[in-house]
Amino acid sequence: MRRYFEDFAIGETWASEPFTLSQDAIIGYARDYDPQPIHIDPEKAADGPFGSVIASGWQIAALSMRVFVEAGGYGETPVVGMGIDELRWRRPVRPGDRLRVVRTVVETDRSKTRPGFGVVRTQVSVTNQDDEVVMTMVSLGRVPRRPVPARV
């Protein structure tokens, strides 16, 4: 199913199924993209400020997008990411944490420069198994507008 700009309503909310991050997944991601000792070395991380390996915040941001897309949040609509505002990592994510992503549409705006598109802003919040917020951000996406039928 395609979703067009006109199909998104302010206040619309989507929530993911919970998912768990393993230590292997945390270390694997960090080795490729954020190779700091607190993310890749359990022994050094144990002596660090968090007392254990923690996930890279970038991994949590990427996962928040992946679970939304995989669940069909945009349907078959090709959405172009325009950016992220107000990204905050609120709490560390540890191996074994069960995370849940909630996205809420907070603003829709017709594009002033591209009449065939609109901009959808969503507030994204990721919580752990204790309902503690671990990450928040506002995501902006360019979404196609519904085509106008040709007149005969």
pLDDT by residue, tens only, the chain of 152 residues? 788 999 999 999 999 999 999 999 999 999 999 999 999 999 999 999 999 999 999 999 999 989 988 877 776 766 778 999 999 999 999 999 999 999 999 999 998 898 999 999 999 999 999 999 999 999 999 999 998 777 76
How many Å apart are CA 85 and CA 95, to the nearest integer? Answer: 27
Question: Phi first, then psi: what are they for 109, rounded to 5°?
Answer: -145, 130
CATH code of residue 107: 3.10.129.10
Quick check: helix, strand or coil at residue 41? coil
Is 152 contained in some domain? no
Q: Where are the alpha helices (DSSP H) in 7-50?
A: 23-33, 37-40, 42-46
Q: Domain count for the chain, please give it.
A: 1
Is 41 contained in some domain? yes
Domain that holds residue 13: 5-144
Q: Are residues 21 and 99 in contact, defined by beta-carbon separation less than 8 angstroms?
A: yes
The continuous run of DSSP H or E covering 40 comes out as helix 37-40
